[in-house]
Amino acid sequence: MMSVSQILGICGAALTLLVVIELLRRRHLRERHAIWWFGAGLLALVAGIFPRTLEWAAQLVGIAVPTNLIFFVSITVLFLVCLQHSSELTELESKTRDLAEQSALLELRVRELEGNHRRAGVSDGGADRSTTGM
């Protein structure tokens, strides 16, 4: 018979998988981000349904308490997610800086062209008025 903690673990893992799938479906989560959460949800679901698997994996890597393996894997997944987000943030900051520089250069170019256009309009406009006045 399943214990209450095992049932809660299975429900939590299933809920995690459903939320990840729904976020993907609504395009609120990209695939490259979802893979970590989906993998963690699957591992939690397998560990919840087959608790002996967790004990076997803990024994395989030399961890005495299977719960410690859960904490270790969880911390590792969170570390990798943070590392991925840091990498993407750095890339986005670089792109933002490049776009700001391009925008500033384009704005400067527009101002120069508008200034040249005004000066050309003033000199042409003044010549047109003097010839029409005669």
For the CA atoms of 4, 2, 44, 65, what is the dihedral angle to 10 degrees? 90
Residue 42 lies in a domain: yes
The average pLDDT across 41-68 equals: 93
Residue 30 carries which DSSP code?
A: -
Residue 127 lies in a domain: no
- Give percent above pLDDT 70 in the chain: 91
The average pLDDT across 108-120 equals: 91
pLDDT category of residue 134 using cuts at 50, 70 and 90: very low
Q: Each residue of 84-98: pLDDT tens digit?
A: 999 999 999 999 999
Helical segments of the chain, H only: 4-25, 31-49, 51-61, 66-132
Residue type at 32 in one-letter notation: R
What range defines the domain where residue 72 resides? 4-96
For the CA atoms of 47, 53, 58, 59, what is the dihedral angle to 10 degrees? 170
Residue 114 lies in a domain: no
Pull the structure tokens for residue 20: 């990840």
Residue 26 lies in a domain: yes
pLDDT category of residue 33 using cuts at 50, 70 and 90: confident
Residue 124 lies in a domain: no
Say what the pLDDT of residue 124 is: 62
* Residue listed under structure tokens 């700001």: 100
Pull the structure tokens for residue 23: 């976020």
Residue 78 lies in a domain: yes
**Average pLDDT of the chain, as a whole number:** 89
pTM exceeds 0.75, yes or no: no
Total structural domains within the chain:
1
Residue 29 carries which DSSP code?
A: S
